[in-house]
A and B are shown apart, each in its own frame.
Chain A
Amino acid sequence: MLEVRGLKAGYDEVQVVHGVDLDIGEGVFHAILGRNGVGKSTTLKTIMGLLLPMDGDVVFKGETISGKPPHEIARHGIAYVPETRDIFGSLTVLENLQLAARMASGSNPAWTIDRVLAFFPNLAGRQSNSGSQLSGGEQQMLAIARALLMNPALLILDEPTEGLAPIIIHQIFDKLGELRRSGMTMLLVEQNFQFATRLCDTASIFGRGQCVWTGASDDLRADTDLHAQWLGV
């Protein structure tokens, strides 16, 4: 579904991603792991069109999307949950959701506002609160709910567990697990090794702006050397 070929990207003069390849099939949950500053988030931003690639291609459902503006990429069916969640604090929870629902294509979307509120019951009672009044966990749920309302073919999540309490991480893990069983395709960047490898089918390890290993999550969990070399602190 998503193919990334020889992607190079960065900020102004500073190149962070030095030739990344990824291949994510439909219905697969894929995790990108790696230490800080190895280009994980930069890769996601470039796929989403928030950064222009310096070189390489991003192909989504057979169509080259690299170089297109973010709103067109979103309309191709990619929804993005950034590391900072980026809830619109000046909008209410409901307005955040309505904005996303408006962007959904098709007349009969699978995800409706009622369905995401049933999926994240915590949000249901907070509809008229402004986005800035939410706790970190609620913000993360809203960010995911918002992405789902766009009824994407591919969901991109950047470090969804960052800064959250273990109990909330557990809830989000369960919810993402439900999505996995429903056949969603997801690309996840995560520092939380257990979370990522237990949730995802496959994984890539990034090191120094490149993809240094790709394989099944189970293999990665079994390989302690690999873990020590690229992920251990």
Chain B
Amino acid sequence: MSGTEFWATQFLNGLQLSMLLFLLSVGLTIIFGLMHFVNLAHGALYMLGAYIGVSIAMWTDNYWAAFFGAPIGVTIIGIALYTGVIKRMRKEGPMSQVLVTFGLIFVIVDLVRIVWGSIALGIPTPEILQGQVSIFGISYPAYRMFIIALGLAVMAGLSLMLARTSYGAMLRASVENGEMASAMGIDVEKLLFSVFCVGCALAGLAGVVAAPVFSATPAMATDILIPTLIVVVIGGLGSLTGAIVGSLIVGFIQTFGAVLLPSFSSILVYILLAGTLIIRPEGLVPARK
């Protein structure tokens, strides 16, 4: 492999990680921005997406059934979490929310261990996405290309929805000033709930899409949480553009850091986080100006 090919591959790897981080952080950041709710269990929903996908793929022997079924399954679990826990915790301070949702991670992880066991489970890559594709003169796994394309499609879809539809305008208004939005007749609670559901579905989607590459393991719940939170903080709470920018930065720093500065790679994102908090504590692309 030549130098250029190596860097092109790393670039695509960075992009692919960025897309997974984006699918996770977009739900988390809007829930943060709109509900002022810290849901640390968001990573656990990602893990559940992978496991539910594993089971569906096993039963149906069909990747696409898992691809569509896992987000639905995770959304149903998310709705149960919302009505059972989150809705009651809305008025509590962030400390209680952090403690309760942090506790939820362990509950969900242990339930997953009971149901699926502790060994890594995989989903076979669908036939159509097996093998390699040629891009920038290098060959790259087709499935990873699919993750990149999916992430870009979700990005474009959400951006358009937010910028062009009346639902998007209601959402932007509510993130900016929930009190005024409700005084204008917008049922902000209902809007929040729909956003929460979309966030859960995207977390589930990220999980099932990641499973063929990384396998489903209980560690998914926590491994992805920290980079996702960093994306949210760097990008700016409640900001879709922030989630896009943050995911790309964190995805590329993690990927290229591991190649260029292996011994420092694990602290690079934290340095970035600290730097952002010092220089631009509101994030790079804050939702509220």
Contacts and interface: CB of A to CB of B under 8 A. Distances in A.
Nearest to A48: B183
Given A86-B177, A88-B177, A90-B172, A99 B166 contact: yes
Dominant secondary structure at the B interface: helix
Interface string B174-207: 0111011111111111000000000000000000
B176 A88 contact: yes
Contacts of A55: none
What are the 3 tightest A-B residue pairs by CB atom distance, in nearest-first order?
A103-B185, A74-B185, A86-B180
Interface of B: 166, 169-170, 172-173, 175-177, 179-189, 287-289
A90 B289 contact: yes
Contacts of B176: 88-91
Contacts of A74: 182-185
A71, A80, A89, A100 — which one has the most chain B CB atoms within 10 A of its CB?
A: A71
Nearest to A96: B173
Contacts of B185: 71, 74-75, 103, 150
Interface in A54-108: 69-71, 74-75, 79-80, 82, 86, 88-91, 95, 98-100, 102-103
Interface size class of A (residues with CB under 8 A): 20 to 34
Contact of B187 (A71, A86, A91, A132): A71
Contact of A91 (B169, B186, B188, B287): B169
A146 interface: yes
Given A79-B184, A82-B183, 13 more contacts: A50-B182, A69-B182, A69-B189, A71-B182, A71-B184, A71-B185, A71-B187, A75-B185, A88-B181, A90-B176, A98-B166, A99-B173, A150-B185
A88 B183 CA distance: 13
7 contacts: A90-B172, A90-B173, A91-B169, A99-B186, A100-B184, A103-B186, A132-B289
Interface of A: 48-50, 69-71, 74-75, 79-80, 82, 86, 88-91, 95, 98-100, 102-103, 132, 146, 150
A99 B169 contact: yes
Contacts of A98: 166, 169
A71 B188 contact: yes
A146 B184 contact: yes
Contacts of B182: 49-50, 69-71, 74
Contacts of A79: 184
A2 to B, nearest CB: 16
Contacts of B187: 69, 71
Contacts of A75: 185
